[in-house]
Amino acid sequence: MLDLKNIRKSYLLGTVEVEILKGVDLHVDRGEMLAVVGASGCGKSTLMNIMGFLDVPSSGEYLFRGRSAQGLSDEELSHIRNTDIGFVFQQFNLLSRLTALDNVGLPLVYRGVPVKERRERGREMLDRVGMGERWRHRPGELSGGQQQRVAIARALCGQPSIILADEPTGALDTATSRDIMDLFASLNRDEGITVVLITHDPGLAKRCARSVCMVDGLVETV
Ligand SMILES: Nc1ncnc2c1ncn2[C@@H]1O[C@H](COP(=O)(O)OP(=O)(O)O)[C@@H](O)[C@H]1O
Ligand SMILES: [Mg+2]
CB 219 within 8 A of CB 23: no
Is 3 within a domain?
no
By most ligand atoms within 8 Å of CB, the mutation choice from 8, 46, 164, 201 for ligand 1 is 46
Q: What percent of the chain has pLDDT over 70?
A: 100
116 CB-near residues (< 8 Å, 6+ apart): none
Is 125 within a domain?
yes
Is 18 within a domain?
no
State pLDDT tens for residues 22-79.
999 999 999 999 999 999 999 999 999 999 999 999 999 999 998 998 889 989 998 8
Instruction: Determine whether the shortest distance from the Cβ of 199 to ligand 1 is under 6 A.
Output: no
Measuring from atom 4 of ligand 1, which residue has the nearest CA? 11
Is 55 within a domain?
no
Domain span holding position 181: 29-42+74-221
Instruction: Determine whether the shortest distance from the Cβ of 11 to ligand 1 is under 6 A.
Output: yes
Cα dihedral 213, 6, 88, 29, rounded to 10, equals -80
d(CA 63, CA 49): 14
Is 147 within a domain?
yes
0.85 exceeded by pTM: yes
- In the chain, the amino acid numbered 87 is F
CB 157 within 8 A of CB 105: yes
Instruction: Determine whether the shortest distance from the Cβ of 44 to ligand 1 is under 6 A.
Output: yes
Is 169 within a domain?
yes
Q: What's 109's domain CATH number?
A: 3.40.50.300
Phi, psi torsion values for 182, nearest 5 degrees: -60, -40
* Residue 110: pLDDT band with limits 50, 70, 90: confident
- For residue 47, the tally of other CB atoms under 10 A from its CB is 28
Is 62 within a domain?
no
CB 184 within 8 A of CB 197: yes
Please identify, by atom number, the ligand 1 atom nearest to the C-alpha of residue 198.
Answer: 21
Please identify, by atom number, the ligand 1 atom nearest to the C-alpha of residue 44.
Answer: 22
Buried-exposed string 146-164: b where 16+ CB fall within 10 A, e elsewhere: bbbbbbbbbbbbbebbbbb
Query: Which ligand minimizes its atom distance to the CA of 10?
Result: 1
State pLDDT tens for residues 156-194.
998 999 999 999 999 999 999 999 999 999 999 999 999
State pLDDT tens for residues 69-89.
888 998 999 889 888 999 999
d(CA 196, CA 48): 9
Domain count, the chain: 1
* Residue 111: pLDDT band with limits 50, 70, 90: confident
